[in-house]
């Protein structure tokens, strides 16, 4: 073995230890170093760490480090994580896939993920889906996303509205249908999403409050 190869092996071993270190600052610095000098042998360790890393800022650095590696090395590994029983593994893999933006991952963004019982997984799936959806498949995606209208707390609803509005005006038919849903919270969310589509600067809080008034008056808020 040549000396450069020995040095590389030492660096890889050091990085593996750093990613597992008990100090979040050490893990953060290690992820930064790995992203700065990508090492294909560390892709698996980065993905595995994403599944269990408790600190948000470290997870973000792990994702950045993965985006610095070739998608030919990362995408398949991340797609495998989408079948994990651990919600964080699914959520972070989806988040990373959305940052990589390789549409080869699109078939893995299943209806099951888009409707996952875990809100963080579902939110990550919504964001990844609107980034990865191929041209022509947006209406089908919008239909699935619309089944989640009214779901969860305000933050979850805002994530869904942002995902839907990112698809553009082709979401209007599914929103109009949802505006006639017998459940008031679904109607409110659909109306608020339409308001955001028309006026992105209005803000979600304003849109949802306006939607509440519209639903209380017994109308759909549809024009003309």
Q: Which residues of 132-153 are buried (b: 16+ CB within 10 A; e: fewer)?
A: bbeeeebeebbebbbebbbbee
Query: Could you give the CA distance from residue 224 to residue 221 in angstroms, rounded to a whole number?
Result: 10
| Entry pTM | 0.87
pLDDT digit of tens for each residue in the chain (224 aa)? 344 555 567 889 999 999 999 999 999 999 999 999 999 999 999 999 999 999 999 999 999 999 999 999 999 999 999 999 999 999 999 999 999 999 999 999 999 999 999 999 999 999 999 999 999 999 999 999 999 999 999 999 999 999 999 999 999 999 999 999 999 999 999 999 999 998 887 766 666 677 767 777 665 545 43
pLDDT score of 4: 54
pLDDT score of 3: 40
pLDDT score of 189: 95
**CA–CA–CA angle 5, 43, 49 (5° rounding):** 120
> How many other C-beta atoms lie within 10 A of the C-beta of residue 51?
18
The answer to whether the CB of 192 falls within 8 A of the CB of 208 is yes
């Amino acid at each position: 073995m040549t000396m450069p190869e020995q040095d590389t092996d030492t660096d890889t071993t050091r990085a593996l230890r750093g990613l597992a270190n008990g100090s979040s600052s050490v893990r953060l610095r290690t992820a930064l170093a790995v992203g700065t000098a990508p090492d294909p042998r560390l892709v698996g360790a980065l993905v595995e760490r994403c599944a269990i890393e408790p600190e948000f800022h470290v997870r973000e650095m792990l994702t950045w480090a993965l985006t610095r590696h070739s998608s030919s090395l990362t995408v398949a590994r991340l797609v495998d994580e989408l079948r994990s029983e651990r919600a964080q593994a699914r959520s972070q893999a989806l988040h990373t896939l959305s940052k990589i933006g390789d549409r080869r991952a699109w078939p893995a963004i299943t209806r099951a993920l888009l409707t996952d019982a875990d809100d963080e997984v579902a939110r990550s799936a919504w964001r990844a889906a609107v980034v990865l959806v191929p041209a022509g498949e947006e209406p089908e995606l919008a239909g699935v996303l619309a089944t989640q209208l009214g779901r969860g707390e305000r933050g979850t609803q805002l994530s869904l509205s942002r995902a839907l509005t990112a698809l553009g005006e082709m979401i209007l038919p599914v929103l109009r249908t949802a505006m006639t849903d017998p459940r008031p919270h679904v109607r409110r969310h659909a109306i608020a999403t339409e308001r955001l589509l028309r006026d992105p600067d209005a803000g979600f809080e304003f849109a949802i409050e306006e939607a509440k008034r519209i639903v209380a008056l017994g109308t759909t808020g549809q024009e003309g």
